Every structure is written in structure tokens, then in C-alpha cells.
Amino acid sequence: MGVEAYNIHNRTCYGLKGVENDSVDALVTDPPYGISFQNNDWDKNLPNSKIWVNSISVLKPGGFGLVFTSIKLMHRIMVQLEDSGFLIKDVLFWSFLNGMPKSRNLAIDIDKELGVESRMTGVFQYVQGYKKGGADSYKSDNIKFIYEPASKLGQRYKGAGISLKPAYEPIIMIQKPLEEGLSVAQNMIKYGTGALNIEETRIPYKKGEPKVGHNPHPKGRVPSNIIRTQEFDDGYDKFFLIRKVRQRKDKFNHHPTLKPVDLMEHLVKLVSFDDQTVLDPFMGSGSTGVAAVNCDRKFIGYEIDKSYYNIADTRLRKDKQINQAINY
């Protein structure tokens, strides 16, 4: 099957029907995390590992892949990928500051367990940690009470919690092995794959920023394996800044886990070159596809859910310039 600008399919990705072996240059995908996000059925389990076997078959030798995953289950998916024949090359961190901590105040739980009434010591105005529904500013929703543990054991464990604030999503970088006996350069000459596209993904210097390093490249620094949504204020900036996008129920794209197009553009560019073909077996609302088309790559996508497929179809039909302007 030849690929026009894009080929998208409203069917299961298993088997990658219609895609020829050794025909795809790169894989960029955001599969189900297996964490039942917002109780979605499609996120109840990790994908079956046969999709990685299918993916390595259709990739050209030396082709790279980027696979989003969750912190808790990344080890499983890494084993699946390795068992399917991929080399694990790196793990990128997409870091953000607006993750919601899921911890709780254990000292108050201990009081409750012991039948001791915790002391109410004050009130505070609850400000939600993100701009709800695309609001321009953080909203102060309501007044909450501050409790102090009253039992002896509660006081001993004052401040104890159960988890950290999540601040990154891992993205596993994989590679199909080069053709046996070929060097990277020989593989590139034969297939156009085997190397990362550092040139197109350099981190530009800020205006007026002093160029550090022995031989600064005019386009900026080599891209790092950390991408973040907020600046780390360390004087000068070494990482990509890509903000999160929020699900907007009022907007036509209601996919609960949509990824920002500028993040996907960076990833697409990193593992492919102009005019090459990028595959996303779990395209959801098509963010990888929009990014691929914006970056002059061809795209093959699969989505099992009709309503998400329709969103991807609408987005991909839009004019490229409009897609570049709207980071939904």
C-alpha cells in the first residue's frame, strides 16, 4: 500500500492490516496505559504485545520508535518491546508541574482508625492546581478545613503520605536493529533509517542568551531526553518547553488523553526525516497524525473507536496552516 499524505483506519491495529513489511520509517504512539484513566474501558489493559511484533515487522531496519507509557507500568511495556525484538535506546521524560498529587493525610486516618476526633485548627481557601475547563486563571473554589491529628500516634505520623506529586510521563525510545552486517551509515544509505534527526530538533538559544560550550551550533543545543511544560529557572534553558493541553468537553476534541501537537511535532521530527512515513497504531484523536502532516511526513494511523477516529479525520482534513496555529 502506498501512503498518500496520510492513511487512517477505523479498525483495530492488531495485524496492521494493509501495511507492508519494512515499509515504515518511524513509530510514534501513545497506547493505552492500562491504568483505567477516567474509567475508560479502552485504558483497562496494556496493549497485547502482538502489536509490537506487528510494528517491528513493518518498520524498516534501524527505524526508531517512541512509545508513551505510565510510570507504574513502563517496566511491563519495556519488556514487551524488548521481547518483540526492539532495542531499548532511551527513556524521555516529559516533565510538567501541574500533576495532581494523590497523597492523603495519614495522621488524620490514624485518628479515625483509633476513634479519636482530629482537631479542626483553621480554614483555607481551596485553589485548584490547574486552570479548569481552559480558564485563564486558577480558580478558588471553596473553603476547606485544616485538621491536626489528636491521637499520640497521629501526632507521631503527622504529615505522612502515600505518594509523590507526579511530574513526568515517560516516553520509551526504541529501535529496530540495523540490518545484520550493516553500519549505521550503510543502513541509512539503504533504508533512510538508523539515526535520530538531531538537526531538526535542536533546542534553540533564547534571544540574547550567552552561547555556552566549545563549538555552539547556530541552531541550538542537542535535544535532551527531558521535555518539560514549565521553565526550570536555572539562568539559561536547556530543555524543550511544551505545555500540556487539557481535555475540553465543550470543544470538538473530547479525547481524554489528547497530547499537545507541538510535543508530537518534536517527537515526530526526532525519529524521522522529511517525506518519511510515521505509524501510530493507537492514534486516538490523531495528534501524531496532525504533527506528522505539519512536519511534511506521511502518516498511517489506526483507531478502534469511531468517535475518536472522526475527530482525527476532521483534524487531518483541516488546512496544515490552521493545524499549526491551533495546538489542540
Ligand X SMILES: C[S@@+](CC[C@H](N)C(=O)[O-])C[C@H]1O[C@@H](n2cnc3c(N)ncnc32)[C@H](O)[C@@H]1O
Which residues contact ligand X by CB under 6 A? Answer: 12-14, 30-32, 42, 255, 257-259, 282, 284-285, 287, 302-305, 308
Cα–Cα distances (Å) from 126 to 91, 130, 134, 143, in that order, read 36, 12, 18, 6
What DSSP state is assigned to residue 268? Answer: H
Shortest Cβ 73–ligand X spacing (Å): 13
Shortest Cβ 80–ligand X spacing (Å): 14
Shortest Cβ 38–ligand X spacing (Å): 11
CB nearer ligand X, residue 262 or residue 303: 303
- The torsion defined by the Cα of 251, 255, 261 and 266, in degrees rounded to 10, comes to 170
Residue at grid coordinates 515487522: 57
Neighbouring C-beta atoms of residue 9, cutoff 10 Å: 18
Shortest Cβ 313–ligand X spacing (Å): 12
CB nearer ligand X, residue 200 or residue 305: 305
Hey, what's the cell of 298?
A: 506521511
Residue in the shown chain whose Cβ atom is closest to ligand X: 284
Contacts of 195 (CB under 8 A, 6+ apart): 62, 184, 188
CB nearer ligand X, residue 177 or residue 256: 256
Hey, what's the cell of 62?
A: 534501524
Shortest Cβ 74–ligand X spacing (Å): 14
CB nearer ligand X, residue 12 or residue 21: 12
Shortest Cβ 272–ligand X spacing (Å): 17
CB nearer ligand X, residue 41 or residue 180: 41
Which amino acid does the sequence have at 238?
K
Closest by CA to 288, choosing from 27, 41, 45, 54, is: 27
CB nearer ligand X, residue 25 or residue 30: 30
Closest by CA to 56, choosing from 32, 88, 34, is: 88
The answer to whether 278 and 295 have CB atoms below 8 angstroms apart is no
Hey, what's the cell of 327?
A: 495546538
Shortest Cβ 36–ligand X spacing (Å): 12
Shortest Cβ 168–ligand X spacing (Å): 16
Helix (H) or strand (E) holding 95, with range, is: strand 87-95
β-pair partners for 148: 119
Hey, what's the cell of 73?
A: 507500568
CB nearer ligand X, residue 16 or residue 178: 16
CB nearer ligand X, residue 31 or residue 63: 31
Give the integer Cα–Cα distance in Å for 266 and 272. Answer: 10
The answer to whether 163 and 71 have CB atoms below 8 angstroms apart is no
